Amino acid sequence: MNKKELIEELTNIGGCDAEDEWSKGYDSGVSSALELANQLDEPEIPVIPQFVADWIELAKDIGITLVGVMDFDTITFYKTYPKVEFQNLKEYMAYGGTQKIVARAWLDGYTIKKEKLYFVKEPITGQFLIKDNRQSNGVKWTDGFEKEPSYYTEQEIKAIDERYWAFAEEVPDV
């Protein structure tokens, strides 16, 4: 039960209409409990990268426990799943402080860190790097007139080819 649910429950209890000492004590107890509930701290919702959120959701879907989510052997076992960014996840989980963040995200929920997006434009030809699953590496170069450029995070660009990062241009906020 969270703070909001507790306050709602205490509010719905209601008071007694009688005027005897027991009823006054009951009403006073409910009021005191409501005051204390209002003073409770809300847990701070952690902000995590998308790849960590994907890992948490996959783990919950397939029945991995919270302990398993932070276990390197478990992460390694599921590294072939399409939504598991294995290397990023492994590096992220290597720091003790991030394990606490993941545990809080698992227990309390999370918000996803908004990552900057980029498109890749080759400066000489003016071609854009676009996603194309028919290609062996999942991308291809195309003229700007053919299609809109695809948007990537820094990690996605570097995973395709480190050299493409030099041609990355930030997508302006719309």
Please provide the DSSP assignment of 100-157 as one string.
HHHHHHHHH--EE-----EEEB-TTT--EEEE-TTSTTSEEEE-TTTSPPP-B-HHHH
DSSP at 167 = G
3-state secondary structure of 51: helix
Give the C-alpha separation, 35 to 28, whole Å.
Answer: 10
Query: 151 is in which domain, residue-wise?
Result: 118-170
- Banded pLDDT at 83 (limits 50, 70, 90): low
pLDDT in tens, 114-144: 888 999 998 888 888 888 878 777 788 887 6
pLDDT at 174: 53
Q: Does 80 lie in the same domain as 51?
A: yes
How many structural domains comprise the chain? 3
pLDDT in tens, 16-55: 676 788 888 888 888 889 898 888 887 789 999 888 998 8
Q: Does 156 lie in the same domain as 137?
A: yes
Q: Does 16 lie in the same domain as 52?
A: no
- Banded pLDDT at 56 (limits 50, 70, 90): very high
